[in-house]
Amino acid sequence: MLFKQQALLRQKLFVLGSLAIGSLLYLVARVGSLDRLQPLCPIDGRFGPRSQDEIPVRALQFKRGLLHEFRKGNATKEQIRLHNLVQQLPKAIIIGVRKGGTRALLEMLNLHPAVVKASQEIHFFDNDENYAKGIEWYRKKMPFSYPHQITIEKSPAYFITEEVPERIYKMNSSIKLLIIVREPTTRAISDYTQVLEGKERKNKTYYKFEKLAIDPNTCEVNTKYKAVRTSIYTKHLERWLKYFPIEQFHIVDGDRLITEPLPELQLVEKFLNLPPRISQYNLYFNATRGFYCLRFNIVFNKCLAGSKGRIHPEVDTSVITKLRKFFHPFNQKFYQITGRTFNWP
């Protein structure tokens, strides 16, 4: 009798325990997706008049999967019409800087339910052949989105290419421009590391960074070396300022995006007049990767590809010192123009 009662009690406890675990799992899942399912706040008029109807919660729920299918070209015309999806020109562009963290910034902004990224670098404004294909070609390269969302693309070559500011201005003179920068010498070494890896992949040899960055005849910094030139941020920015006022730019601290991404992303949300939607929940530090990774919801998370976050080769400290001294006055000017100061040496 006693044995039967104990068995019954155990059974009851098991059922209760299962219920509790089930509810807990449900709650975790809800909290995970809640942030992404909240209806959007109105987006400021700077992005054009917003339609009266809010995006339905259900539509947001399907957003990722659906837009993904459409991006793969699996959508029928009927589906596109049914969901009122459009391919929109970007309202904001990440124009650079190469190796500043442009991919991380784009992917992290894409966590925002009102943002849809163009996955590939389009290279429309910096590539004459593409540019000659016209603005409709460019628009057709954009992902499908709901009309109230904004499209963002990134092509880091835009920042340093002569013709680009005028071309973008002709498309949209009030566009928002994002520039992500890192300490210039680190950025130059990162740039070098990427090229070096490409050479090694093709079994080619390559010069040491020191040899490229320092002119062997003068022993001064080699300003003809592209990785050095790209890090003279102020020179490039000055060209852009001939077309756009400084208020249309937002400078992102690429070094801080690595160590503490959320506050940087919150500044961008503000700049883009987006309601704050990216939260700490969306970003988690992955110790194996050594970087923050992205969490869309309880089931979908991802880290950036292994090509982001390479180990840099060791560089002679005297060369680093020389480069830092060289960049110093340009950095001061950059702080002055942008109103954002960094702790660069």
- Residues annotated as catalytic are 99
Neighbours of 211 (CB within 10 A): 13
- Under the binding rule (CB under 6 A), the answer on residue 195 touching ligand A3P is no
Rounded least distance, CB 94 to ligand A3P, Å: 9
Q: Which two tokens stand for residue 38?
A: 């909240």
User: Which of 5/307 has CB closer to ligand A3P?
Assistant: 307
Rounded Cα gap, residues 322 and 105, in angstroms: 30
Smallest distance, ligand A3P to C-beta of residue 107, A: 8
Cβ nearer to ligand A3P, comparing 63 with 253: 253
Beta-sheet pairing, 176-181 with 249-253: parallel
Angle between helical axes of 184-201 and 317-338 (0-180°, round to 10): 120
Asked whether the beta carbons of 92 and 127 are under 8 A apart, the reply is: no
Binder among 123, 148, 167, 308 for ligand A3P (CB under 6 A): 308
Residue with tokens 């325990």: 17
State which residue, 103 or 236, has the beta carbon closest to ligand A3P: 103
The HSE-up count of residue 153 (CA atoms within 13 Å, CB side) is: 23
Residue 257 binding ligand A3P, by CB under 6 A = yes
173 token code pair: 């003179």
Residue in 101, 113, 165, 184 binding ligand A3P, rule: CB under 6 A: 101
**Beta carbon of residue 112, minimum distance to ligand A3P (angstroms, whole number):** 16
Structure tokens at 122: 């389009």
Of 75 and 101, nearer to ligand A3P (C-beta) is 101
Q: How far is the CB of 288 from ligand A3P (least distance, A)?
A: 12
Query: Which residue among 206, 226, 309, 340 contacts ligand A3P (CB under 6 A)?
Result: 309
User: Residue from 32, 100, 113, 143 that binds ligand A3P (CB under 6 A)?
Assistant: 100
Q: How far apart are CA 292 and CA 282, in angstroms?
A: 10
Hey, which residues between 153 and 172 contact ligand A3P (CB under 6 A)?
156
227 binds ligand A3P (CB under 6 A): no
Identify the helix (H) or strand (E) that includes residue 323: helix 317-338
Least distance to ligand A3P, CB of residue 106, Å: 8
The H or E element containing residue 176 is strand 176-181
The only residue of 271, 292, 327, 334 in contact with ligand A3P, by rule CB under 6 A: 292
Q: Are 99 and 182 in contact (CB under 8 A)?
A: yes
Q: Is 296 in the site for ligand A3P (CB under 6 A)?
A: no
Binding mask 70-99 for ligand A3P (x = CB under 6 A): ----------------------------xx
Helix (H) or strand (E) holding 33: helix 2-37
- Among residues 136 and 200, whose Cβ is nearest to ligand A3P? 200
Q: Report how far residue 179's alpha carbon sits from residue 271's, in angstroms, rounded to the nearest whole number.
A: 12
Q: Judged by CB under 6 A, how many residues of this single chain contact ligand A3P?
A: 17
Residue corresponding to tokens 């062997």: 216
The amino acid sitting at 269 is: E
Contact residues: ligand A3P, CB under 6 A: 98-104, 156, 190, 257-258, 291-292, 304, 308-310
